[in-house]
């Protein structure tokens, strides 16, 4: 029985490590906040800190993606028989249509990932340093995350699995399933942050308009 290729085994290891690091990071924070702190944080502070923690994790992951992608060289696509390298870059690198040059989708996704990194990082830095949410930056980072992830799933070609050996096909499917779960986090959490921040900004504008109207009424008297 042939063994899964080195690339597929490394890909699976990379994704598993990423998933475990994410779960460990957030679980450790929750244990620390709810059990070890002298005073439990309020729900609002807990949400803010979890958002900042996610932004930090998001920025770090994207920084690794960009750095390793640049070090490995482009393009991100490869044939099923000879994948380029095992790296935690664009989800669809082993399953996209064969190409020896960058496709527009790859370029757009690389740009989105590259832009999301500093936006998420600076938004996280503002909270950890000043305890102030940069909602506009969080919205922009969330939109870029969702866009790049959805674009990646649109490029997935499950029929490519039919040309693989059973062992390689199983490893490839397990890898993609793990990526699917990971990228649900890259859709669900950004979508929640997008909704929450958009409503918060709207409420801030309503409060400002109400305050301005009240000031004008007081001045008129």
pTM above 0.85, yes or no: no
Instruction: Please give the span between the terminal C-alpha atoms of the chain, in angstroms, as a whole number.
Output: 89
Other beta carbons within 10 angstroms of residue 98's beta carbon come to: 11
* Domain parsing of the chain, residue ranges: 6-220
Rounded Cα gap, residues 44 and 50, in angstroms: 10
pLDDT for residue 74 is more than 70: no
Highest mean pLDDT among 62-76, 102-116, 185-199: 185-199
Rounded Cα gap, residues 155 and 203, in angstroms: 38
With a CB cutoff of 8 Å and minimum separation 6, the contacts of 132 are: 126
DSSP-derived letter for residue 163 is: G
Q: Which residues of 203-217 are buried (b: 16+ CB within 10 A; e: fewer)?
A: eeeeeeeeeeeeeee
CB 193 within 8 A of CB 144: no
Read off the pLDDT band of 202 (50, 70, 90).
Answer: very high
Side-chain-side CA neighbours of residue 172 (13 Å) = 23
With a CB cutoff of 8 Å and minimum separation 6, the contacts of 124 are: 52, 53, 55, 56, 59
Per-residue pLDDT tens digits for 14-48:
666 777 887 888 889 888 888 888 888 888 888 89
């Amino acid at each position: 029985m042939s063994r899964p290729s080195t690339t597929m085994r490394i890909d699976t290891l990379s994704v598993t490590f990423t998933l475990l690091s994410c779960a460990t990071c957030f679980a450790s924070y929750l244990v620390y906040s709810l059990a070890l702190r002298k005073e439990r944080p309020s729900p609002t502070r807990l949400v803010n800190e979890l958002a900042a923690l996610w932004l930090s994790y998001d920025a770090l992951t994207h920084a690794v993606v960009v750095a390793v992608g640049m070090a490995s060289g482009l393009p991100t696509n490869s044939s099923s028989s000879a994948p380029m390298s095992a790296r935690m870059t664009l989800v669809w690198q082993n399953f996209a249509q064969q190409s020896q040059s960058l496709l527009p989708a790859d370029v757009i996704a690389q740009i989105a990932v590259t832009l999301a990194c500093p936006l998420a990082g600076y938004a996280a830095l503002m909270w950890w340093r000043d305890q102030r949410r940069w909602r506009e930056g969080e919205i922009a980072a969330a939109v870029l995350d969702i866009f790049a992830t959805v674009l990646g799933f649109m490029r997935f070609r499950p029929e490519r699995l039919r040309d693989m050996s059973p062992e390689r096909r199983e490893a490839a499917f397990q890898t993609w399933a793990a990526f699917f779960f990971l990228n649900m986090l890259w859709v669900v959490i950004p979508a929640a942050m997008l909704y929450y921040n958009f409503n918060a900004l709207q409420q801030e504008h309503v409060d400002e308009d109400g305050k301005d109207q009240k000031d004008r009424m007081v001045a008129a008297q």
